[in-house]
Amino acid sequence: GSTGFGGGVAIPHGKLEGLDHVTGVFARLEQPIEFGAIDEMPVDLVFLLLSPPDAGADHLKALASVSRQLRDRGFVAKLRGAGSEDALYALLVGSETRDAA
């Protein structure tokens, strides 16, 4: 599935044989790409979410969590402004920790 949220954010997602847990990959693109987003704006932030075929509820829970974070304009601005990979990692892991609390 593909979700172009608008505001330059996309969350492509799906299920993949061979995975044993939900996996996410984040990319901040140097050059925005067309993604068919609802606002027709190009995308520069992509969070790929992949799950095992039998991870129905876990996949939806992860998708909801990622969606919630990437709808937060302040958080998205921090992702765009992060000056290093370490800063991006800290933002993403920090948001995961907050969601689990």
Q: Residue 43 in contact with residue 4, Cβ under 8 Å?
A: yes
Which residue in 3, 4, 9, 13 is the catalytic one? Answer: 13
Residue in the block written with tokens 């044993």: 20
> Per the structure block, which two tokens stand in for 62?
């992860």
Active-site annotation holds for 21? no
Amino acid letter at 54?
D
Phi, psi for residue 74 in degrees, rounded to 5: -65, -45
Residue 30's Cβ-count burial label (10 Å; 0-12, 13-18, 19+) is exposed
- Could you list the active site residues? 13
